[in-house]
Structures are given as structure tokens and as C-alpha cells.
Amino acid sequence: MGFFVRRCVFSILLWVLLSSRVIGQGPFSVEVDSLILRGIDQAFMSEFDSAMATFQKVIDRYPDHLVGYFYQAATLQSKMMDYETNLWEKEFHRLVEKAIRTGKKQVRKGDGDPWTYFYLGSSFSYKGFYQAKTGDLISGFLSARKGLSYLKRALERDSTLYDAYLGLGNYQYWSGRFYKYLKWLPWIRDERERGIRLVKLSVDRGTFSYWVGVNSLGWIEYDRKRYGAALNLFQKGLERYPGSRFFVWGVADSYFRLGNFVKAVEVYEELLASIQKGLLNNGYNEAECHLKLAQSYFALTDYEEVFHHCDAVLERKVERRIAKRLKNHYRKAEEYRKQCLEALGRRRIIRE
């Protein structure tokens, strides 16, 4: 799966992690609602261990409700996406299956709360997105389809549950985006325009899903090649969550696509420093930043910096499975080194 596609999947995953209910409405106490919101903010700032501990407190309070297990599974999924690893895959599967089993049990017992259906649908969606990310595309869409049915049932019970519109809109846009590859599946249609309308509806009318709606809409605008609009949305997110990689990636990539390579360099350098300081760095995201920096500096004709960042890609020691995923990065780094040598040769000829 390409790097841009993974960023898009990341934005889809965020809506279920970062959506929540209005404080004081629903089956939980104000105290538990506050815990959920605290965990959401911690996850947005990549404080994943703290978020897991916060959501454990929710489980301790409501062990027979799916909500805590769902949020822990969502946190692990986002953590794996952020760090480009599958280290917590087994624990993720355990938690998401626990959430699904618990939610189904609640429904069988007559729990008609629309948020129960929302969290159950979100749990199936998370399972499906992870299956698709790891290569099992058909199973992923089947799981996501189950999730959509529960989200629709949530809206049947409460049409003002705008977080569910965000999930439906994201699914409709991105399934439509890849329709040409999936049109042989009878339930896949190109409904991108409707998907955009639903995402915008959630952003306009939602409360706790607002920021993830901004992130989702940013990646949709980026995909539509509306890079200026995307940049504005990502920058808006950074004003709320300074330094959050959920938005920094979007800002950097948007500057890059707009051809503002000076600003792109500035933001990619910030992102690289954040990745290198992280507790877990397997080299993949680091290589992605170095390559984008090499490309940006090449456009700025700063060939010394191009060599530096290409060498950083080629010389970084990584595990074999990461090296396999970086084959295209290695090829591009070699190509840019070669182009730099040719450009420097032409420069010497002109001077002589």
C-alpha cells in the first residue's frame, strides 16, 4: 500500500477514534465522558500509552460495555499506523473482537442506545480497515460493510448523531476513489460527491468529531488536487493540536504539492525531528521524510543537501521487512544522486 494511500486510510481511521458523544448525554457519567475526551486528546498528540491507560479507566468503570475496548483497539490501530509497524497486531485483534462480542451481546439484550450501534459499527470498520491495510482487501470491505449497517441503524435511532455521517461519508468517498479497482464488487459504487457532502455535514454540525472531520476533509481535498484548500484545513488542525503528526504530514505534503519547497523543507525537518525523537522509529517514516527533503532541495538546486538526505535513506540500517518496503525509496534516492551529479557536471562546464 502506497504512502499516500496509508495517510488516507489513517484519516478514515481517525474519525472513529476521535468521535465521541456530547458530555452528559448517553449511558455514561460526566466523569467517564471526560475520560474519553482526555484519551482522545492524548491520542491526537501521539501520547498513545497515556491514552491506553485513560481508556482502561473507562473499562474499569464499564466492563460490560464495548466502549472502553473499542477505544483501546482504536488507539492501538492509530499507534501502529503512526509508527508504521504491526507490533501490537495481536493485542489489537483481541481488543477489537472483544468490543464486537460485547457490543453484539448488548444488542441481543435489547440495548437500543444509538451510541451502542455507533461503537459496534465503528469496531467492525476498524477491523475492516486493518484487514485492507494488511492486504486482505475483500475481507476488509466485508467487515467495513457490516460496520456501515450498524452506523445506519444508529442513524435510524438518532438522525442527529453526526459522527456517524462522518464515517459514512468517508467510506463513500474513498470506496468511490478506488471504484475502478473494485467495481466488480456489487455493493461498491462511486459516490464520492455524496461522501463529501456527508463529511462536510458532520464538520458543520458535529461537536467532538469536528477536528477529525477537518483532517478527513483535508485529505479528501488533497486527493482532489485542491492543495491550497487542503493546506488551510491541516493548518487549522495544527492551531488546535500543535505538533500533531496527524496534521503535520498534511501540511508538509500540501506545501510540497503546491511547489512551495522552502516551506515544505521547514515542515519536513520538523516532522523528521519528531520522528527521530519518538520512542519507536523503525526507519520507514524517517526514510519518507529524508526522500521528500531530497526532492525539495533538488527543486531548490541545493545539491549538497540532496546528497545528504539521499545518503541518509541509503545508509540507514533497518530490519529486512522494512528494507523490502523501502525498495522504491532506495531507487529514487539513487536516481536523485545521479541527477545531482549530472547537474553539478553541467554547472562546472558552464563555469569553465
> For residue range 243-297, what is the model confidence (pLDDT) as tens digits?
999 899 999 999 999 999 999 999 999 999 999 987 789 999 999 999 999 999 9
The C-alpha cell at 70 is 473499542
pLDDT for position 189:
77
CA atoms within 13 A of residue 326's CA, in its CB half-sphere: 27
Q: How far apart are CA 285 and CA 55, in angstroms?
A: 27
CB 313 within 8 A of CB 333: yes
DSSP 21: P
pLDDT for position 7:
54
Considering the entire predicted model, what is its pTM? 0.86
Q: What is the largest CA-CA distance in the chain?
A: 85
Q: How far apart are CA 335 and CA 329, in angstroms?
A: 10
Q: How far apart are CA 33 and CA 329, in angstroms?
A: 44
Q: At what angle do helices 162-177 and 3-18 cross, to 10 degrees?
A: 170
CATH number of 3-229: 1.25.40.10
The C-alpha cell at 250 is 498534511
Question: What is the CA angle 162-166-168, rounded to 5?
Answer: 110
pLDDT for position 162:
85
Cβ-count burial 144-169 (b if 16+ within 10 Å, e if not): bbbbbebbebbbeeeeebbbbbbbbb
> How confident is residue 200, by pLDDT bands cut at 50, 70 and 90?
very high
Give residue limits of the domains in the chain: 3-229, 269-343
Amino acid symbol at 14:
L
Share above pLDDT 70 across residues of the chain, in percent, rounded to a whole number: 86
CB 172 within 8 A of CB 198: yes
CB 100 within 8 A of CB 127: yes
The C-alpha cell at 34 is 471526560
Residues 6+ apart with CB under 8 A from 110: none
Model confidence pLDDT, tens digit, residues 129-188: 888 888 787 788 789 889 989 999 999 999 988 888 888 898 888 878 776 666 666 667
